[in-house]
Structure 1
Amino acid sequence: MASAPQANLPLFYKDLTPLNSRDHANWRSKSVDKAPWIAQQHAIPLTTDEFAQAQRHFPIVFSSGDNPVPLALLGLHEGVNVFFKDDGEALEDAYVPAYARRYPFLLAKLDAKNDNMSLCFDPSSDLIGDFKEGRELFKESEPTEHTQEVLQFCQRFEEAGRRTQNFVEELKKADLLMDGEVAIQRGDDSDKPFIYRGFQMINQDKLREVRGDLLRTWNQSGMLPLIFAHLFSLDRMRVIFAKQVEQGKGPAAEAAKSDAKKKN
C-alpha cells in the first residue's frame, strides 16, 4: 500500500535541470489552482516538521523496506487520492505536504565528489518556462526575490529531511517499527472487513516497554510528540476509507457497487 519513492528520480519528477541565469534569464514561474502531479498519488513523503499539521488530515505511516520514510496517505490504494480530483483540483482545504509544494523545484547534488547542492527544476513541468506572465526568476542575471524564496524553502525542506531521517533512525535503533495492518469494517451487512497492509507503523506494545531514561530523552528532544502524532493519525484510515467509498474510488467502492447490483 505504501511504497517508498523511486531511487533514480524523486516522486513527481520526470527530469532535472539546474536553474541558471544563462539558459533561463527570461524564464518565469507561474502559480496554478490545480496540481495534476498530485492527483494520482496516494502517498506523499512527509517531514517530522509537518506531523502536527498533517495528522489532522491524513494517516501518517512509514514506507515498507529497510529505509522507511514517513508518508501522508491521501488514499488507501495505489492511484487513489480522495483530496484531489483527477485534474488536480483540490476537493477540500486540506494540508498539502511541503514535498508537493516545492515542485517543480528541488536541491540536488550535481557532482558526486562534493556535497554542494544546486537549485534544480523539472523541465517537463508547465509551471516554469519562457512565459510572458508570471514571476521573474532572474533580473539582470541575478536571482530575483522570488527565486531566493524558492531556494530558502528548498533549503528548509532539506534541513527538515535530515531531522526526519534522525527520527526514523531512532525508531529503528529502538526496534519500534513493525509491519502495519488495519482492518476496516465496510459498515454494511458484510461481516468481512477490508484489510490494509504494506506499510510500517510504531509497535505500541514495544513503546510501552521503553525504559524511563530513554523516554525522558525523547520527551526533551521532541520525539515523543511525533510518535503520538503518528499513532493518533492512524484513526484517519477510516475517514479515508469512507471518502473512497463516497467518491466511488478503490476496491471498497467496487465491492459496494457489486453488492448493489446483486440486491437489484
Structure 2
Amino acid sequence: MASAPQANLPLFYNDLMPLNTRDHAGWHARGTGKAPWLSTQHAIPLTAEEFPQAGRHYPIVFASGDNPVPLALMGLNEGVNVFVDAEGNVAPTVYLPAYARRYPFMLAKLNPQSEELSLCFDPTSGLVGEFDEGGPLFDGAEPTDTTKGILQFCEQFEQAGQRTQAFIDEIKKHNLLMEGEAAIQQPGIEQPFIYRGFQMIDQEKLREVRGDVLRGWAQSGLLPLLYAHIFSLDLMSVIFGLQAEQGKAPTPAIAPVPAL
C-alpha cells in the first residue's frame, strides 16, 4: 500500500491544519470533478459497510500484517488505478470509497493526551483557501452549512471506522484470515501472473463456523459482508484486463507481487 510523504500522516495527506475561525474566517472549500490524489493509488482503505457497493466494482482484500485494513483494489500493481486517469478524472459509474471522498478533510487529535477530535484539512490540496470559488467555511464566528456538512461526513466516517475495527476484531478472533494469492492466466502467455501480499477470508474455516456464532453473524449483517468480499475477488481478472486495455499491464517476464 502506498504511503503518505510523512510516516505519521495517512494516505493522500501531505500536511494537516486544524480549521478555525481565527485563521480561516474568509476561506472557502471548493469541489472538483477530479481526484488527482487517486490517480497513482491502487489500494484505497475501505470501511466494512461499503463492501456491498464497492464489491460490484473492484476486489476487496485485507492488508497483510497485524493490522488487516480492508482495501479496495482499483488496480493490481503499484501506481496503477484503472478508474482514475493521470489528470484525476474518475470513471463516472465507479463507486468511490468514502476514504477518498472525505479528502482533504479529516478528524484528528490535536492533543495526544486527549480523545477529542478536531476538523482538519490538508492545506496542500488546493481545495481549501482564500479564493472565491466554492462554499464559505465560516459566517462570522459560526461554521456555515458547508462546514457542518463536512464535519458530519467526517464524523460518520470515524463511526464507520470504529464499526470496521469491530468487524476486523471479530474475524481475527475466529482466525478467518489467510494469506491470499491470485493467479491470472493470459492467452498466449505460458506463466500466469501471480499476485500476493494481501489477506483474504479462508473459506474452509468459514464453512466450519457453526451454531450461535453463525446465527449471530447473519443477524448482525457480518455474514453478508464476508460474502461480498469473497465474491469481489472474481474481479481480479477484470481489473487485470482493464490494465491491459490501458497499457498498464505488467510485462510477462515479471511475476508481480503488489505490496498491499
Shorter-normalised TM-score: what interval?
over 0.9
Inter-partner Cα distance in structure 1 for 2:71 and 2:2:
9
Structure 2 unaligned runs (5+)? 254-260
Task: Please tell me the residue identity of whatever aligns with 2:245.
Answer: E
Task: Please tell me the residue identity of whatever aligns with 2:198.
Answer: F
Residues 3 and 63, structure 1, Cα contact 8 Å, conserved in 2: no
* Aligned position for 2:252: 255
| Alpha-carbon distance, 1:221 to partner | 1.1
Residues 2 and 41, structure 2, Cα contact 8 Å, conserved in 1: no
* Aligned position for 1:111: 111
Q: TM-score, normalised by structure 1?
A: 0.92
| Alpha-carbon distance, 1:3 to partner | 6.7
> Helix, strand or coil for the counterpart of 2:77?
coil
Residues 3 and 10, structure 2, Cα contact 8 Å, conserved in 1: no
Deviations 1:134-174 (A, max 9, x none): 11000112100010000000000000000000000111110
Q: Map of 1:59-208 to 2, 5 A cutoff? A: 59-186=59-186, 188-208=187-207
| Alpha-carbon distance, 1:216 to partner | 0.5
| Alpha-carbon distance, 1:191 to partner | 2.5
* Aligned position for 1:262: none
Residues 4 and 63, structure 1, Cα contact 8 Å, conserved in 2: no
Inter-partner Cα distance in structure 1 for 2:127 and 2:93:
22
Inter-partner Cα distance in structure 2 for 1:255 and 1:89:
29
CA root-mean-square deviation: 1.4
Following TM superposition, where does structure 1 have runs of at least 4 consecutive aligned residues deviating by more than 6 angstroms? Answer: 3-6
* Aligned position for 1:220: 219
Distance 1:53 1:83, change over 3 A: same
Task: Please tell me the residue identity of whatever aligns with 2:141.
Answer: S
Residues 34 and 88, structure 1, Cα contact 8 Å, conserved in 2: yes
Deviations 1:7-37 (A, max 9, x none): 5101000000000001000000111121100
Task: Please tell me the residue identity of whatever aligns with 2:232.
Answer: S
| Alpha-carbon distance, 1:255 to partner | 3.5
Report which stretch shifted further, 223-232 or 91-100. 91-100
| Alpha-carbon distance, 1:217 to partner | 1.1
Inter-partner Cα distance in structure 2 for 1:155 and 1:69:
19
Task: Please tell me the residue identity of whatever aligns with 1:221.
Answer: S
Task: Please tell me the residue identity of whatever aligns with 1:240.
Answer: I
Inter-partner Cα distance in structure 1 for 2:62 and 2:3:
9
Inter-partner Cα distance in structure 2 for 1:172 and 1:42:
25
* Aligned position for 2:257: none
Residues 60 and 73, structure 2, Cα contact 8 Å, conserved in 1: yes
* Aligned position for 2:29: 29
Residues 180 and 197, structure 1, Cα contact 8 Å, conserved in 2: yes
Aligned length: 252
Inter-partner Cα distance in structure 2 for 1:133 and 1:4:
31
* Aligned position for 1:10: 10
Q: TM-score, normalised by structure 2?
A: 0.94
Structure 1 unaligned runs (5+)? 257-264
**Percent identity (aligned):** 63
| Alpha-carbon distance, 1:92 to partner | 4.0
Deviations 1:62-86 (A, max 9, x none): 0011011000000001100000101
Inter-partner Cα distance in structure 1 for 2:197 and 2:3:
11
